[in-house]
C-alpha cells in the first residue's frame, strides 16, 4: 500500500479565502480530493470537522500536510497533542514542505518554538480585538446588539400582552419576532400599578 499526502487548511472567518492555502497544498503534492478544510473556525479549538476528517483520513506511512503550523493549531498543548497522535499512528507531519521529526531533539525544539509563536500570535489577536472593542465602546461606537423593535412598538407589545386578547405567539407573529423577544420586552417593562 502506498503512502498518501493528506492536506489540511483552515481560515478563522467566513470572509477569508482558502485559495492560497489550497494552492500551497497542491504545490506540495497534495491531490485536491485529499484536502480537508475548516472555514470560519478558530485554531484554538480542536473541535473542527475538517481537522477530524483529515486525521481520520491519514494512515500509517501517510503524511499530513499543512502550509503553516498556525493553520493546524493555535495553542502549544493542541499542537503537541496532534503531533503525539500522528506519531503514535506512524503518520508524518509536513509543515510547508518540511517534514517534522518528533524523535529528533532539534526538530522537537523547532516545532515547540513554532507552536509557541502561533499561540503568541493568537494571544496578540485577542488582545488587539479587546483593545479595539474597548476603544470603540469608549467612543460610543460599540453599542451591542440593536433592539428589534422601536420603543413605540415595544409599548404596543406590552399593551397587547396585558390586554389579554392575544397570545404571545400571535403577538410575536404580528411583530415578526420570536416569542422569547415578546417575553423579554414584557419582563423588562416596569409594572404600571
Is there a domain that residue 138 lies in? no
The verdict on 181 and 105 lying in the same domain is no
List the catalytic residue out of 2, 12, 45, 150.
Answer: 12
Is there a domain that residue 128 lies in? no
The verdict on 105 and 49 lying in the same domain is yes
Per residue in 52-88, pLDDT (tens digit) is 999 999 999 999 999 998 899 888 888 889 999 999 9
The verdict on 11 and 102 lying in the same domain is yes
- pLDDT recorded at residue 16: 86
Which domain-ending residue is among 104, 123, 142? 123
Which domain-ending residue is among 74, 107, 123? 123
Name the domain count of the chain. 2
The verdict on 21 and 76 lying in the same domain is yes
In this structure, what CATH number is given to the domain that contains residue 75? 3.40.50.1390
CA distances (Å), origin 158, targets 2, 150, 163? 69, 12, 8
Sequence-distant (6+) residues with CB within 8 A of 59 are 1, 4, 89, 91
The verdict on 87 and 168 lying in the same domain is no
Is there a domain that residue 167 lies in? yes
Domain enclosing residue 23, as ranges: 5-123
Which domain-ending residue is among 84, 104, 123? 123
CA distances (Å), origin 33, targets 7, 8, 77? 9, 11, 29
Is there a domain that residue 142 lies in? no
The verdict on 109 and 159 lying in the same domain is no
Evaluate if residue 162 carries a pLDDT over 60: yes
Q: What's the pTM?
A: 0.63
Which H or E element spans position 6? strand 5-11
- pLDDT recorded at residue 47: 81
Q: Vertex 144, ends 140 and 145: CA angle to 5°?
A: 140
Please give the Cα distance from 60 to 4 (Å, whole number): 10
Instruction: Respond yes or no: is residue 94 known to be catalytic.
Output: no
Per residue in 6-56, pLDDT (tens digit) is 999 999 887 888 999 999 999 999 999 999 999 887 767 778 899 999 999
Is there a domain that residue 155 lies in? yes
The verdict on 118 and 175 lying in the same domain is no
Is there a domain that residue 135 lies in? no
Please give the Cα distance from 15 to 68 (Å, whole number): 20
Rounded to a whole number of angstroms, the distance between the first and last alpha carbons of the chain is 81
Amino acid at each position: 500500500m502506498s503512502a498518501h499526502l493528506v492536506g489540511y487548511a483552515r481560515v478563522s472567518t467566513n470572509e477569508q479565502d482558502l485559495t492560497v492555502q489550497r494552492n500551497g497544498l497542491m504545490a506540495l503534492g497534495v491531490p485536491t480530493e485529499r484536502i480537508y478544510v475548516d472555514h470560519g473556525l478558530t485554531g484554538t479549538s480542536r473541535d473542527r470537522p475538517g481537522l477530524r476528517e483529515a486525521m481520520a483520513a491519514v494512515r500509517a506511512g501517510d503524511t499530513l500536510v499543512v502550509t503553516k503550523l498556525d493553520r493546524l493549531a493555535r495553542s502549544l498543548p493542541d499542537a503537541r497533542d496532534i503531533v503525539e497522535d500522528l506519531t503514535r499512528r506512524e503518520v508524518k507531519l509536513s509543515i510547508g514542505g518540511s517534514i517534522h521529526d518528533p524523535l529528533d531533539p532539534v526538530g522537537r525544539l523547532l516545532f515547540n518554538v513554532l507552536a509557541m509563536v502561533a499561540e503568541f500570535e493568537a494571544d496578540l489577536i485577542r488582545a488587539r480585538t479587546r483593545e479595539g472593542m474597548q476603544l470603540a465602546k469608549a467612543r460610543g461606537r460599540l453599542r451591542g446588539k440593536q433592539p428589534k423593535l422601536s420603543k413605540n412598538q415595544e409599548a404596543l407589545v406590552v399593551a397587547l400582552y396585558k390586554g389579554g386578547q392575544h397570545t404571545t405567539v400571535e403577538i410575536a407573529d404580528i411583530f415578526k419576532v420570536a416569542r422569547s423577544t415578546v417575553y423579554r420586552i414584557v419582563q423588562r417593562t416596569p409594572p404600571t400599578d
